[in-house]
């Protein structure tokens, strides 16, 4: 699915709805207005719905935006607002759900023609917010990695690799749009937004105000329950991410690596360190005259390459690092022919409390003495260590107050599953992101996860694999057999009977 296909689909649905409004309800005042109401309404309903399927995905995307805003504003005169963004990041899910519901309801209000003046202004304000958001992200493509967004004199040529947020999240994981594409999409939608503001009296209205209020009220409650169901109580019923149930991760990883290996360099972009001159050279020309561009004099800015046959996904970035051995266990996991379990947590949920510990630090004096042996009549040198002084010192260590619900899920559900799996000779692994290795080991010990291999990984990777903290994944020969939200985790015997055949 592409953006062009979506626009065609929205247009076709809008034409059908416009015909229904005009010929069946005979309620239209202006054909162009009715079509635009339906077109924009369907657009917002669909874009909100694909995000409602996975509210956590939208929350994670907002966390990326908030992190980018923090690093942008913190070193500037606007630094006083920077502390707001970490707080917003912590509460991203509580921003995500209302925003998703509002987007869908606003789309429905356009289709119904409900309170036209308010709807027009609400549509314009929300779209203006989206435009500023995607416009800012797109413009970061002109900002080199070592420069601040507001240092306009440091801006250079557009390079999408400069952007920290690489897709806008407008359609969740259903359709990835680069911020540049999304920005121009929002600019396009601003045309009907302004039209609504100045011509809102020409909007059609379906049904009576009472019926519209009832429909929108029921839809709001239903959407709230639907969003909670898709993240708080269970996994999303539709998975748009690469690690979906039934995917052969091993085969996909090999295919992506082969595609990347066949990518060819077309052009080199170089900058002279002395003059600042930027040149672009075909790969053949550059390789033939390589000695003319030494790294001491030229900075290699970029390589323009052919597009890979298969677009790389998070599967290519899959790396689980064993805490004790320090090696990547992902290859052996994907090659394991038997069933195995992976318990995934994007972070350990705990309150970290620093504690000052007082201890005695003893220092010693080391001397060399000559010892005379009466029997052998020989002298020998010996090292003698004697206590010099004892000092009271303090050091800071961290105490972890585990979140009760999080800890109980591991100490009961996960620990029981791991123990039963081990009795059947199956391997279990716990993979944690954004946490200290010592904390992971301490947590596993206290939760009773004996025999479970402990690993660390990138938290964004783990959030992509499963939308639950913790979440459980059943593997076999590099294939994801099934994933579970912790609140929907069956017993080992039920899993064995249904999925291990």
| 45-84 pLDDT per residue, tens | 999 999 999 999 999 999 989 998 998 999 888 888 999 9
State whether 299 and 392 are in the same domain: no
pLDDT greater at residue 373 or residue 406? 406
Torsion angle of alpha carbons 109, 111, 113, 117, nearest 10°?
A: 60
Question: Could you give the CA distance from residue 331 to residue 254 in angstroms, rounded to a whole number?
Answer: 11
State whether 294 and 166 are in the same domain: no
State whether 341 and 371 are in the same domain: no
User: Which pLDDT score, from 0 to 100, does residue 98 have?
Assistant: 96
Residue 431 lies in a domain: yes
The whole model's pTM is what? 0.85
Residue 31 lies in a domain: yes
Residue 465 lies in a domain: yes
Contacts of 176 (CB under 8 A, 6+ apart): 167
Report the domain count for the chain.
Answer: 4
Query: Which CATH number goes with the domain that contains 476?
Result: 3.40.30.10
Question: Strand pairing of 265-272 and 278-282?
Answer: antiparallel
The β-bridge partners of 370 are 381
For residues 203 and 33, is the Cβ–Cβ distance under 8 A? yes
> Could you say which DSSP state residue 317 is in?
G
Q: How many Cβ atoms from other residues are within 10 Å of residue 453's Cβ?
A: 21
Token pair, residue 239, equals: 């998975």
State whether 133 and 26 are in the same domain: yes
The β-bridge partners of 355 are 397
Residue 251 lies in a domain: no
pLDDT band of 225, cuts 50, 70, 90 = very high
For residues 100 and 224, is the Cβ–Cβ distance under 8 A? no
Question: Could you give the CA distance from residue 405 to residue 419 in angstroms, rounded to a whole number?
Answer: 20
State whether 28 and 137 are in the same domain: yes
Q: Could you report the per-residue pLDDT of 366-380, keeping only the tens digit for each?
A: 777 676 666 766 777
For residues 199 and 27, is the Cβ–Cβ distance under 8 A? no
State whether 180 and 277 are in the same domain: no
Residue 113 has pLDDT above 70, yes or no: yes
- Helix residue ranges, H only, 200-301: 209-228, 249-261, 283-288
State whether 35 and 89 are in the same domain: yes
State whether 294 and 422 are in the same domain: no
State whether 320 and 410 are in the same domain: yes
Residue 20 lies in a domain: yes
Q: Is 383 exposed, middle or buried (0-12, 13-18, 19+ CB in 10 A)?
A: exposed
Residue 258 lies in a domain: no
State whether 116 and 51 are in the same domain: yes
Query: Which range has the worst mean pLDDT, 35-44, 168-177, 323-332, 466-475?
Result: 168-177
Residue 300 lies in a domain: yes
Residue 241 lies in a domain: no
For residues 443 and 400, is the Cβ–Cβ distance under 8 A? yes
State whether 271 and 214 are in the same domain: no
State whether 205 and 284 are in the same domain: no
Q: How many Cβ atoms from other residues are within 10 Å of residue 315's Cβ?
A: 24
Share of the chain above pLDDT 70, in %: 97
The β-bridge partners of 345 are 432
Q: Tell me how far CA of residue 5 lies from CA of 10, 127, 152, 317, 479, in angstroms.
A: 9, 21, 37, 30, 31
Q: Which domain holds residue 441?
A: 315-349+403-499
Residue 17 has pLDDT above 90, yes or no: yes
For residues 25 and 206, is the Cβ–Cβ distance under 8 A? yes
User: Which pLDDT score, from 0 to 100, does residue 387 have?
Assistant: 67
Residue 453 CA, distance from chain mean position: 25
Domain end call among 333, 365, 398: 398
């Amino acid at each position: 699915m592409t953006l062009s296909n979506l626009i065609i689909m929205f247009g076709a649905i809008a034409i059908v709805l416009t015909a229904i409004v005009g010929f069946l309800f005979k309620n239209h005042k202006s054909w162009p207005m009715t079509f635009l109401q339906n077109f924009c309404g369907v657009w917002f309903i669909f874009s909100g719905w694909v995000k409602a399927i996975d509210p956590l995905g939208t929350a994670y995307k907002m966390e990326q935006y908030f992190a980018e805003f923090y690093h942008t504003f913190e070193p500037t005169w606007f630094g006083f607002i920077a502390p707001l963004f970490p707080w917003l990041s912590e509460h991203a899910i509580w921003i995500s759900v209302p925003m998703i519901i509002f987007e869908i309801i606003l789309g429905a209000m356009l289709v119904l023609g409900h309170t036209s003046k308010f709807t027009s202004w609400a549509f314009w304000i929300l779209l203006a917010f989206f435009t500023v958001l995607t416009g800012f992200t797109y413009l970061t493509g002109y900002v080199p990695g070592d420069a601040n967004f507001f240092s306009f004199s440091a801006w250079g040529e557009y390079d999408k690799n400069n952007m920290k947020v690489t897709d806008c999240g407008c359609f969740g994981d259903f359709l990835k749009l680069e911020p540049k594409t999304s920005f121009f999409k929002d600019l396009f939608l601003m045309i009907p937004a302004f039209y609504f503001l100045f011509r809102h009296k020409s909007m059609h209205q379906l049904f009576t105000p009472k019926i519209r209020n009832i429909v929108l009220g029921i839809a709001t409650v239903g959407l709230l329950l639907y969003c909670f169901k898709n993240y708080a109580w269970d996994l999303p019923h539709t998975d748009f991410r690469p690690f979906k149930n039934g995917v052969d991760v091993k085969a996909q990883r090999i295919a992506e690596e082969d595609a990347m290996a066949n990518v060819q360099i077309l052009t080199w972009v170089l900058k002279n360190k002395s003059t600042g001159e930027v040149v672009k050279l075909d790969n053949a020309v550059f390789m033939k005259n390589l000695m003319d561009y030494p790294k001491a004099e030229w900075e290699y800015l970029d390589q323009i390459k052919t597009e890979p046959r298969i677009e790389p996904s998070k599967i290519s970035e899959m790396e689980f690092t064993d805490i004790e051995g320090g090696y990547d266990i992902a290859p052996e996991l994907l090659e394991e022919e038997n069933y195995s379990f992976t318990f995934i947590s994007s972070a350990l949920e705990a309150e970290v409390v620093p504690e000052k510990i007082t201890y005695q630090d003893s220092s010693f004096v080391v001397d060399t003495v000559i010892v005379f042996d009466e029997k052998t009549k020989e002298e020998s040198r010996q090292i003698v260590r004697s206590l010099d002084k004892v000092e009271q010192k303090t050091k800071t260590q961290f105490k972890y107050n585990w979140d009760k619900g999080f800890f109980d899920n591991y100490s009961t559900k996960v620990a029981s599953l791991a123990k039963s799996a081990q009795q059947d000779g199956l391997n279990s692994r716990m993979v944690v992101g954004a946490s200290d290795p010592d904390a992971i080991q301490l947590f596993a010990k206290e939760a009773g996860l004996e025999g479970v291999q402990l690993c660390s990984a990138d938290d964004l990777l783990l959030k992509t694999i499963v939308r639950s903290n913790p979440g459980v994944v059943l593997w076999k020969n590099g294939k994801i057999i099934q994933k579970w939200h912790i609140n929907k985790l069956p017993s080992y015997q039920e899993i064995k009977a249904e999925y291990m055949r």
